[in-house]
Structure 1
Amino acid sequence: MTEMERRHRRVQRIVAGVYVGIPVVLLAIVALVSSRGPAAGWIVCAVPVAMLGLGLYLLPRHRYQPRWWPGVGGLFGAVAAVTAVVYPLVNGMWWVTALLLGVIAALPAAAFGLLVGILLARRANQVLLVPVMPELAESPYELMFLLRGLTRGTVLLGADTIEIRSTPTARGEHQSRSYPLSAITGTFEASLSGAERLKFPIAITVGGTPGPAVILQASGEDWVLPTNEAAILIELLDHRRTAKA
Protein backbone atom coordinates (compact mmCIF):
# COMPACT_ATOMS: atom_id res chain seq x y z
CA MET A 1 0.00 0.00 0.00
CA THR A 2 1.38 3.40 -0.98
CA GLU A 3 1.50 6.42 1.32
CA MET A 4 -1.21 8.10 -0.76
CA GLU A 5 -3.48 5.09 -0.33
CA ARG A 6 -2.92 5.12 3.43
CA ARG A 7 -3.67 8.82 3.58
CA HIS A 8 -6.81 8.35 1.49
CA ARG A 9 -8.07 5.70 3.90
CA ARG A 10 -7.39 7.91 6.94
CA VAL A 11 -9.20 10.85 5.38
CA GLN A 12 -12.19 8.77 4.36
CA ARG A 13 -12.46 7.24 7.85
CA ILE A 14 -12.73 10.73 9.34
CA VAL A 15 -15.21 11.89 6.69
CA ALA A 16 -17.32 8.76 7.18
CA GLY A 17 -17.19 9.40 10.93
CA VAL A 18 -18.67 12.87 10.35
CA TYR A 19 -21.33 11.89 7.82
CA VAL A 20 -22.32 8.49 9.24
CA GLY A 21 -20.61 8.00 12.60
CA ILE A 22 -22.17 11.02 14.32
CA PRO A 23 -25.76 9.99 13.42
CA VAL A 24 -25.11 6.36 14.41
CA VAL A 25 -23.75 7.37 17.84
CA LEU A 26 -26.69 9.73 18.34
CA LEU A 27 -29.14 7.00 17.36
CA ALA A 28 -27.63 4.68 19.97
CA ILE A 29 -27.91 7.38 22.66
CA VAL A 30 -31.51 8.24 21.78
CA ALA A 31 -32.53 4.57 21.64
CA LEU A 32 -30.98 3.92 25.05
CA VAL A 33 -32.72 6.90 26.64
CA SER A 34 -36.04 6.07 24.95
CA SER A 35 -35.93 2.50 26.24
CA ARG A 36 -35.99 3.86 29.79
CA GLY A 37 -38.75 6.43 29.36
CA PRO A 38 -42.28 6.82 27.99
CA ALA A 39 -43.10 5.08 24.70
CA ALA A 40 -43.74 8.44 23.04
CA GLY A 41 -40.05 9.23 23.41
CA TRP A 42 -39.18 6.86 20.57
CA ILE A 43 -40.33 9.54 18.12
CA VAL A 44 -37.05 11.36 18.82
CA CYS A 45 -35.28 8.55 16.97
CA ALA A 46 -36.51 10.26 13.82
CA VAL A 47 -33.78 12.89 14.30
CA PRO A 48 -30.72 10.59 14.06
CA VAL A 49 -32.44 8.41 11.43
CA ALA A 50 -32.99 11.47 9.24
CA MET A 51 -29.38 12.55 9.80
CA LEU A 52 -28.16 9.07 8.91
CA GLY A 53 -30.20 9.02 5.72
CA LEU A 54 -28.89 12.45 4.73
CA GLY A 55 -25.32 11.46 5.57
CA LEU A 56 -25.51 8.28 3.48
CA TYR A 57 -26.94 10.31 0.59
CA LEU A 58 -24.30 13.05 0.76
CA LEU A 59 -21.22 10.97 1.54
CA PRO A 60 -20.59 9.59 -1.97
CA ARG A 61 -21.27 13.05 -3.43
CA HIS A 62 -18.97 14.92 -1.03
CA ARG A 63 -16.30 12.24 -0.65
CA TYR A 64 -13.70 14.17 -2.65
CA GLN A 65 -14.96 17.70 -1.97
CA PRO A 66 -13.51 19.10 1.29
CA ARG A 67 -15.42 22.37 0.83
CA TRP A 68 -18.56 20.61 2.17
CA TRP A 69 -17.00 18.78 5.10
CA PRO A 70 -16.97 21.64 7.67
CA GLY A 71 -20.57 22.64 6.92
CA VAL A 72 -21.93 19.11 7.29
CA GLY A 73 -19.69 18.48 10.30
CA GLY A 74 -20.88 21.64 12.03
CA LEU A 75 -24.54 20.93 11.30
CA PHE A 76 -24.41 17.28 12.39
CA GLY A 77 -22.30 18.09 15.43
CA ALA A 78 -24.66 20.82 16.63
CA VAL A 79 -27.83 18.78 16.10
CA ALA A 80 -26.31 15.69 17.70
CA ALA A 81 -25.01 17.58 20.73
CA VAL A 82 -28.31 19.37 21.36
CA THR A 83 -30.29 16.12 21.03
CA ALA A 84 -27.86 14.08 23.13
CA VAL A 85 -27.79 16.66 25.94
CA VAL A 86 -31.36 17.93 25.99
CA TYR A 87 -33.32 14.73 25.36
CA PRO A 88 -32.03 12.76 28.40
CA LEU A 89 -32.67 15.81 30.60
CA VAL A 90 -36.27 16.39 29.55
CA ASN A 91 -37.38 12.82 28.86
CA GLY A 92 -40.54 12.16 30.88
CA MET A 93 -40.76 15.69 32.31
CA TRP A 94 -43.78 18.01 32.27
CA TRP A 95 -43.63 19.95 28.98
CA VAL A 96 -43.16 23.41 30.55
CA THR A 97 -40.22 22.24 32.64
CA ALA A 98 -38.82 20.36 29.66
CA LEU A 99 -39.05 23.47 27.48
CA LEU A 100 -37.26 25.71 29.97
CA LEU A 101 -34.54 23.18 30.70
CA GLY A 102 -34.12 22.44 27.00
CA VAL A 103 -33.61 26.09 26.08
CA ILE A 104 -31.00 26.55 28.82
CA ALA A 105 -29.03 23.46 27.79
CA ALA A 106 -29.39 23.77 24.01
CA LEU A 107 -27.19 26.78 23.32
CA PRO A 108 -23.94 25.57 24.94
CA ALA A 109 -24.54 22.08 23.57
CA ALA A 110 -25.04 23.44 20.05
CA ALA A 111 -21.88 25.56 20.28
CA PHE A 112 -19.85 22.59 21.50
CA GLY A 113 -21.20 20.24 18.83
CA LEU A 114 -20.68 22.80 16.09
CA LEU A 115 -17.05 23.25 17.11
CA VAL A 116 -16.36 19.52 17.34
CA GLY A 117 -17.94 18.84 13.94
CA ILE A 118 -15.98 21.59 12.22
CA LEU A 119 -12.72 20.53 13.87
CA LEU A 120 -13.22 16.94 12.72
CA ALA A 121 -13.80 18.11 9.15
CA ARG A 122 -10.78 20.40 9.26
CA ARG A 123 -8.73 17.52 10.62
CA ALA A 124 -9.66 15.44 7.57
CA ASN A 125 -8.51 18.25 5.27
CA GLN A 126 -5.26 18.60 7.21
CA VAL A 127 -4.58 14.86 6.99
CA LEU A 128 -5.17 15.10 3.26
CA LEU A 129 -2.82 18.02 2.62
CA VAL A 130 -0.02 17.74 5.20
CA PRO A 131 2.70 16.88 4.43
CA VAL A 132 2.33 17.73 0.78
CA MET A 133 2.82 14.89 -1.71
CA PRO A 134 3.12 15.16 -5.50
CA GLU A 135 0.64 12.27 -5.72
CA LEU A 136 -2.09 14.57 -4.36
CA ALA A 137 -2.11 16.36 -7.70
CA GLU A 138 -3.07 13.07 -9.37
CA SER A 139 -5.83 12.28 -6.86
CA PRO A 140 -9.54 12.95 -7.47
CA TYR A 141 -9.72 15.31 -4.47
CA GLU A 142 -10.74 18.93 -4.78
CA LEU A 143 -8.00 20.56 -2.69
CA MET A 144 -9.06 23.41 -0.40
CA PHE A 145 -6.82 26.16 0.99
CA LEU A 146 -7.95 28.88 3.41
CA LEU A 147 -7.35 32.53 2.59
CA ARG A 148 -5.77 34.34 5.53
CA GLY A 149 -7.63 37.39 6.81
CA LEU A 150 -10.94 36.46 5.20
CA THR A 151 -13.68 34.54 7.01
CA ARG A 152 -14.51 31.41 5.00
CA GLY A 153 -12.44 32.57 2.06
CA THR A 154 -10.98 29.64 0.16
CA VAL A 155 -9.00 28.65 -2.88
CA LEU A 156 -10.34 25.44 -4.44
CA LEU A 157 -7.97 23.53 -6.69
CA GLY A 158 -9.96 21.12 -8.83
CA ALA A 159 -8.89 18.70 -11.51
CA ASP A 160 -9.43 21.26 -14.30
CA THR A 161 -10.01 24.61 -12.58
CA ILE A 162 -8.91 26.84 -9.73
CA GLU A 163 -11.60 28.83 -7.93
CA ILE A 164 -11.42 31.68 -5.41
CA ARG A 165 -14.51 31.83 -3.18
CA SER A 166 -15.96 33.78 -0.29
CA THR A 167 -19.29 33.96 1.52
CA PRO A 168 -21.99 36.09 -0.17
CA THR A 169 -22.42 39.68 1.00
CA ALA A 170 -25.66 41.51 1.75
CA ARG A 171 -25.18 43.45 -1.48
CA GLY A 172 -25.10 40.25 -3.50
CA GLU A 173 -21.69 40.96 -5.03
CA HIS A 174 -19.98 38.31 -7.11
CA GLN A 175 -18.24 36.08 -4.61
CA SER A 176 -16.43 33.50 -6.71
CA ARG A 177 -14.15 33.44 -9.70
CA SER A 178 -13.00 30.35 -11.51
CA TYR A 179 -10.20 29.91 -14.03
CA PRO A 180 -9.39 26.86 -16.13
CA LEU A 181 -5.90 25.59 -15.38
CA SER A 182 -4.98 26.31 -18.98
CA ALA A 183 -5.51 30.04 -18.25
CA ILE A 184 -2.89 30.06 -15.48
CA THR A 185 0.33 31.54 -16.84
CA GLY A 186 2.39 31.84 -13.65
CA THR A 187 2.53 31.17 -9.91
CA PHE A 188 4.99 32.69 -7.48
CA GLU A 189 5.42 32.54 -3.71
CA ALA A 190 5.64 35.87 -1.90
CA SER A 191 5.94 37.12 1.66
CA LEU A 192 3.59 39.90 2.77
CA SER A 193 4.42 42.51 5.40
CA GLY A 194 0.75 43.27 6.06
CA ALA A 195 0.90 46.80 4.66
CA GLU A 196 0.09 45.85 1.07
CA ARG A 197 -3.22 46.65 -0.61
CA LEU A 198 -4.32 43.33 -2.05
CA LYS A 199 -6.21 42.86 -5.28
CA PHE A 200 -8.67 39.96 -5.44
CA PRO A 201 -10.62 38.48 -8.34
CA ILE A 202 -13.82 38.72 -6.25
CA ALA A 203 -15.57 41.68 -4.63
CA ILE A 204 -14.17 41.59 -1.09
CA THR A 205 -12.20 43.85 1.19
CA VAL A 206 -9.46 42.22 3.21
CA GLY A 207 -7.05 43.84 5.61
CA GLY A 208 -3.42 43.06 4.98
CA THR A 209 -2.00 40.23 7.04
CA PRO A 210 1.70 39.38 7.23
CA GLY A 211 2.78 35.96 6.03
CA PRO A 212 3.17 33.85 2.89
CA ALA A 213 1.05 34.40 -0.21
CA VAL A 214 0.62 33.17 -3.76
CA ILE A 215 0.88 35.52 -6.73
CA LEU A 216 -1.42 34.00 -9.32
CA GLN A 217 -1.22 35.12 -12.94
CA ALA A 218 -4.35 34.17 -14.86
CA SER A 219 -6.01 35.50 -18.02
CA GLY A 220 -3.65 38.48 -18.13
CA GLU A 221 -4.28 39.51 -14.51
CA ASP A 222 -2.23 39.22 -11.32
CA TRP A 223 -3.85 38.30 -8.00
CA VAL A 224 -2.27 38.12 -4.55
CA LEU A 225 -3.76 35.33 -2.44
CA PRO A 226 -2.63 35.28 1.22
CA THR A 227 -2.55 31.69 2.46
CA ASN A 228 -0.39 29.93 5.01
CA GLU A 229 -0.12 26.96 2.62
CA ALA A 230 1.33 29.00 -0.24
CA ALA A 231 4.17 26.59 -1.05
CA ILE A 232 1.82 23.57 -1.00
CA LEU A 233 -0.74 25.31 -3.23
CA ILE A 234 1.89 26.29 -5.79
CA GLU A 235 3.43 22.81 -5.91
CA LEU A 236 0.09 21.06 -6.40
CA LEU A 237 -1.18 23.65 -8.87
CA ASP A 238 1.98 23.30 -10.95
CA HIS A 239 1.64 19.50 -10.93
CA ARG A 240 -1.97 19.66 -12.15
CA ARG A 241 -1.13 22.27 -14.76
CA THR A 242 1.69 20.07 -16.07
CA ALA A 243 -0.59 17.03 -16.19
CA LYS A 244 -3.15 18.99 -18.24
CA ALA A 245 -0.55 20.45 -20.61
Structure 2
Amino acid sequence: MTLSQLSSINCDPLDIEGYFNACAAFRLSGVAQPFWRDWPLADPHLFLTPESLHHWHREFYDHDVKWCLAAVGEQELDFRFSVLQPLTTFRRFHCGISKLKQVTGRAQRDMQCYIVALIADAAPHGIVIAIRALMDFRYLSQATTINQEHCQKILGALVEFHKHKQDIIACGTRRGAKSKQVLDNWHIPKLELMQSVVPSIRQVGSLLQWSADTTEHAHITLIKDPADSTNNINYDAQICRFLDRQEKC
Protein backbone atom coordinates (compact mmCIF):
# COMPACT_ATOMS: atom_id res chain seq x y z
CA MET A 1 0.00 0.00 0.00
CA THR A 2 1.24 3.50 -0.82
CA LEU A 3 0.90 6.53 1.46
CA SER A 4 -1.62 8.13 -0.91
CA GLN A 5 -3.79 5.01 -0.82
CA LEU A 6 -3.59 4.86 2.97
CA SER A 7 -4.51 8.52 3.32
CA SER A 8 -7.60 8.01 1.16
CA ILE A 9 -9.03 5.45 3.60
CA ASN A 10 -11.27 7.16 6.15
CA CYS A 11 -11.76 4.73 9.00
CA ASP A 12 -11.25 4.54 12.75
CA PRO A 13 -7.83 2.82 13.25
CA LEU A 14 -9.27 0.92 16.21
CA ASP A 15 -12.04 -0.55 14.06
CA ILE A 16 -10.03 -3.40 12.54
CA GLU A 17 -12.92 -4.98 10.64
CA GLY A 18 -14.01 -1.63 9.25
CA TYR A 19 -10.43 -0.82 8.21
CA PHE A 20 -10.01 -4.05 6.24
CA ASN A 21 -13.42 -3.59 4.62
CA ALA A 22 -12.39 -0.08 3.55
CA CYS A 23 -9.13 -1.46 2.11
CA ALA A 24 -11.01 -4.14 0.20
CA ALA A 25 -12.83 -1.45 -1.81
CA PHE A 26 -9.41 -0.47 -3.22
CA ARG A 27 -8.44 -4.14 -3.77
CA LEU A 28 -5.79 -3.78 -1.03
CA SER A 29 -4.80 -6.20 1.71
CA GLY A 30 -4.58 -3.52 4.40
CA VAL A 31 -1.04 -4.55 5.34
CA ALA A 32 1.23 -1.48 5.25
CA GLN A 33 4.29 -2.83 7.08
CA PRO A 34 4.69 -6.63 6.78
CA PHE A 35 6.64 -8.51 9.45
CA TRP A 36 9.41 -9.44 6.99
CA ARG A 37 10.14 -5.86 5.85
CA ASP A 38 13.62 -5.79 7.50
CA TRP A 39 14.67 -9.30 6.42
CA PRO A 40 17.29 -9.39 3.62
CA LEU A 41 15.99 -10.80 0.31
CA ALA A 42 12.64 -11.64 1.94
CA ASP A 43 10.42 -9.49 -0.29
CA PRO A 44 8.02 -11.88 -2.13
CA HIS A 45 8.28 -9.92 -5.37
CA LEU A 46 11.97 -10.90 -5.43
CA PHE A 47 11.84 -14.63 -4.68
CA LEU A 48 8.35 -15.54 -5.97
CA THR A 49 8.96 -15.47 -9.71
CA PRO A 50 6.29 -15.53 -12.46
CA GLU A 51 5.74 -19.08 -13.68
CA SER A 52 5.03 -19.86 -17.32
CA LEU A 53 2.77 -22.90 -16.92
CA HIS A 54 0.21 -21.42 -14.52
CA HIS A 55 0.57 -17.73 -15.31
CA TRP A 56 1.14 -17.33 -19.06
CA HIS A 57 -0.25 -20.52 -20.60
CA ARG A 58 -3.20 -20.70 -18.22
CA GLU A 59 -3.99 -17.03 -18.85
CA PHE A 60 -4.02 -17.83 -22.56
CA TYR A 61 -6.56 -20.64 -22.14
CA ASP A 62 -8.72 -18.89 -19.53
CA HIS A 63 -8.93 -15.55 -21.33
CA ASP A 64 -7.34 -15.29 -24.80
CA VAL A 65 -9.07 -18.42 -26.08
CA LYS A 66 -12.43 -17.25 -24.69
CA TRP A 67 -12.01 -13.86 -26.42
CA CYS A 68 -11.25 -15.61 -29.71
CA LEU A 69 -14.21 -17.98 -29.40
CA ALA A 70 -16.53 -15.02 -28.76
CA ALA A 71 -15.05 -12.94 -31.58
CA VAL A 72 -14.98 -15.65 -34.26
CA GLY A 73 -17.76 -17.91 -33.00
CA GLU A 74 -17.34 -21.32 -31.38
CA GLN A 75 -18.55 -23.28 -34.40
CA GLU A 76 -16.32 -21.40 -36.85
CA LEU A 77 -13.16 -21.56 -34.70
CA ASP A 78 -13.73 -25.24 -33.94
CA PHE A 79 -14.06 -25.89 -37.68
CA ARG A 80 -10.82 -24.05 -38.41
CA PHE A 81 -8.96 -26.11 -35.81
CA SER A 82 -10.50 -29.35 -37.10
CA VAL A 83 -9.28 -28.90 -40.69
CA LEU A 84 -5.65 -28.14 -39.78
CA GLN A 85 -3.08 -30.41 -41.40
CA PRO A 86 -1.82 -32.97 -38.83
CA LEU A 87 1.78 -32.29 -37.81
CA THR A 88 4.19 -34.60 -36.00
CA THR A 89 4.75 -33.63 -32.33
CA PHE A 90 1.76 -31.25 -32.41
CA ARG A 91 -1.67 -32.17 -31.14
CA ARG A 92 -4.48 -32.21 -33.68
CA PHE A 93 -7.73 -30.70 -32.40
CA HIS A 94 -10.01 -32.70 -34.68
CA CYS A 95 -13.12 -31.72 -32.67
CA GLY A 96 -12.12 -28.12 -32.07
CA ILE A 97 -11.27 -26.49 -28.74
CA SER A 98 -14.53 -25.09 -27.34
CA LYS A 99 -15.56 -28.33 -25.56
CA LEU A 100 -12.18 -29.43 -24.22
CA LYS A 101 -11.94 -30.56 -20.59
CA GLN A 102 -8.87 -30.79 -18.33
CA VAL A 103 -6.58 -29.11 -20.85
CA THR A 104 -2.88 -29.70 -20.19
CA GLY A 105 -0.09 -27.17 -20.54
CA ARG A 106 1.11 -29.03 -23.63
CA ALA A 107 -2.28 -28.64 -25.30
CA GLN A 108 -2.34 -24.94 -24.40
CA ARG A 109 1.06 -24.45 -26.02
CA ASP A 110 -0.10 -26.32 -29.14
CA MET A 111 -3.14 -24.03 -29.43
CA GLN A 112 -0.85 -21.01 -29.23
CA CYS A 113 0.98 -22.16 -32.36
CA TYR A 114 -2.19 -21.80 -34.44
CA ILE A 115 -4.42 -19.22 -32.79
CA VAL A 116 -3.23 -15.99 -34.46
CA ALA A 117 -3.37 -17.45 -37.98
CA LEU A 118 -6.81 -18.97 -37.40
CA ILE A 119 -8.45 -15.72 -36.26
CA ALA A 120 -6.56 -13.39 -38.62
CA ASP A 121 -9.33 -12.96 -41.22
CA ALA A 122 -12.32 -13.58 -38.93
CA ALA A 123 -11.86 -11.50 -35.76
CA PRO A 124 -11.82 -7.67 -35.65
CA HIS A 125 -8.42 -6.21 -36.48
CA GLY A 126 -7.83 -4.75 -32.99
CA ILE A 127 -8.49 -8.10 -31.30
CA VAL A 128 -6.06 -9.88 -33.64
CA ILE A 129 -3.34 -7.34 -32.76
CA ALA A 130 -4.03 -7.70 -29.02
CA ILE A 131 -3.88 -11.51 -29.14
CA ARG A 132 -0.73 -11.44 -31.27
CA ALA A 133 0.91 -9.00 -28.83
CA LEU A 134 0.25 -11.37 -25.91
CA MET A 135 1.65 -14.25 -27.96
CA ASP A 136 4.79 -12.20 -28.67
CA PHE A 137 5.05 -11.55 -24.94
CA ARG A 138 4.88 -15.28 -24.09
CA TYR A 139 7.39 -16.41 -26.68
CA LEU A 140 9.87 -13.64 -25.85
CA SER A 141 9.57 -14.27 -22.10
CA GLN A 142 10.40 -17.97 -22.51
CA ALA A 143 13.85 -17.36 -23.97
CA THR A 144 16.67 -19.17 -22.16
CA THR A 145 18.96 -16.14 -22.48
CA ILE A 146 17.51 -12.64 -22.13
CA ASN A 147 19.38 -9.35 -22.40
CA GLN A 148 18.27 -5.73 -22.14
CA GLU A 149 17.16 -5.66 -25.78
CA HIS A 150 14.89 -8.66 -25.18
CA CYS A 151 13.44 -6.97 -22.08
CA GLN A 152 12.51 -3.93 -24.17
CA LYS A 153 10.77 -6.15 -26.73
CA ILE A 154 8.81 -7.87 -23.92
CA LEU A 155 7.74 -4.48 -22.56
CA GLY A 156 6.88 -3.36 -26.09
CA ALA A 157 4.58 -6.36 -26.57
CA LEU A 158 2.71 -5.45 -23.38
CA VAL A 159 2.40 -1.82 -24.48
CA GLU A 160 0.94 -2.94 -27.82
CA PHE A 161 -1.60 -5.14 -26.06
CA HIS A 162 -2.70 -2.30 -23.78
CA LYS A 163 -3.09 -0.01 -26.80
CA HIS A 164 -5.60 -2.40 -28.40
CA LYS A 165 -7.21 -4.14 -25.42
CA GLN A 166 -10.24 -1.84 -25.47
CA ASP A 167 -11.24 -3.40 -28.79
CA ILE A 168 -11.82 -6.65 -26.88
CA ILE A 169 -14.32 -4.91 -24.60
CA ALA A 170 -15.82 -2.83 -27.42
CA CYS A 171 -16.67 -6.00 -29.36
CA GLY A 172 -18.25 -7.60 -26.28
CA THR A 173 -15.83 -10.53 -26.24
CA ARG A 174 -14.70 -10.11 -22.61
CA ARG A 175 -17.36 -12.06 -20.69
CA GLY A 176 -17.86 -13.68 -17.32
CA ALA A 177 -16.84 -17.31 -17.03
CA LYS A 178 -20.23 -18.53 -15.79
CA SER A 179 -22.75 -15.77 -16.43
CA LYS A 180 -21.38 -14.97 -19.93
CA GLN A 181 -22.24 -11.36 -19.15
CA VAL A 182 -20.19 -8.79 -21.03
CA LEU A 183 -17.58 -7.22 -18.73
CA ASP A 184 -16.09 -3.74 -19.02
CA ASN A 185 -13.11 -4.14 -16.67
CA TRP A 186 -9.66 -5.73 -16.68
CA HIS A 187 -9.63 -7.31 -13.22
CA ILE A 188 -7.49 -10.26 -14.33
CA PRO A 189 -4.72 -11.14 -11.83
CA LYS A 190 -2.73 -13.23 -14.34
CA LEU A 191 -2.73 -10.31 -16.75
CA GLU A 192 -1.56 -7.96 -14.02
CA LEU A 193 1.26 -10.37 -13.12
CA MET A 194 2.70 -9.84 -16.59
CA GLN A 195 3.84 -6.39 -15.46
CA SER A 196 6.31 -8.05 -13.05
CA VAL A 197 7.98 -10.28 -15.65
CA VAL A 198 10.72 -7.90 -16.77
CA PRO A 199 11.59 -6.72 -13.21
CA SER A 200 11.77 -10.38 -12.17
CA ILE A 201 14.01 -11.26 -15.12
CA ARG A 202 16.38 -8.49 -14.06
CA GLN A 203 16.44 -9.92 -10.54
CA VAL A 204 16.80 -13.68 -11.16
CA GLY A 205 17.53 -14.16 -14.87
CA SER A 206 15.50 -16.18 -17.38
CA LEU A 207 12.17 -17.26 -15.89
CA LEU A 208 12.07 -20.49 -17.87
CA GLN A 209 14.35 -22.06 -15.25
CA TRP A 210 11.57 -21.70 -12.66
CA SER A 211 8.93 -23.53 -14.70
CA ALA A 212 6.61 -25.91 -12.82
CA ASP A 213 6.47 -28.39 -15.72
CA THR A 214 8.76 -30.86 -13.94
CA THR A 215 6.84 -30.87 -10.66
CA GLU A 216 3.51 -31.03 -12.51
CA HIS A 217 4.72 -34.06 -14.45
CA ALA A 218 5.79 -35.64 -11.16
CA HIS A 219 2.12 -35.65 -10.17
CA ILE A 220 1.54 -38.09 -13.04
CA THR A 221 4.47 -40.42 -12.36
CA LEU A 222 4.18 -40.38 -8.56
CA ILE A 223 0.40 -40.24 -8.06
CA LYS A 224 -1.75 -40.87 -11.13
CA ASP A 225 0.13 -43.81 -12.66
CA PRO A 226 0.53 -45.66 -9.31
CA ALA A 227 -3.15 -44.98 -8.51
CA ASP A 228 -4.16 -46.86 -11.68
CA SER A 229 -2.79 -50.05 -10.11
CA THR A 230 -4.88 -49.72 -6.93
CA ASN A 231 -8.37 -50.95 -6.17
CA ASN A 232 -9.52 -47.36 -5.40
CA ILE A 233 -9.42 -48.04 -1.65
CA ASN A 234 -6.83 -46.66 0.79
CA TYR A 235 -4.86 -44.84 -1.90
CA ASP A 236 -1.95 -43.61 0.22
CA ALA A 237 -0.73 -46.98 1.42
CA GLN A 238 -1.07 -48.65 -1.97
CA ILE A 239 0.69 -45.82 -3.83
CA CYS A 240 3.58 -45.87 -1.35
CA ARG A 241 3.87 -49.66 -1.73
CA PHE A 242 3.85 -49.32 -5.53
CA LEU A 243 6.58 -46.65 -5.49
CA ASP A 244 8.66 -48.66 -3.02
CA ARG A 245 8.51 -51.78 -5.20
CA GLN A 246 9.22 -49.75 -8.34
CA GLU A 247 12.33 -48.23 -6.75
CA LYS A 248 13.59 -51.64 -5.63
CA CYS A 249 13.13 -53.04 -9.12
Higher relative contact order (CA 8 A, sep 6+): 2
The reply to whether TM is greater than 0.5 is no
Q: TM-score, normalised by structure 2?
A: 0.24
Q: TM-score, normalised by structure 1?
A: 0.24
| Greater per-residue strand proportion | 1
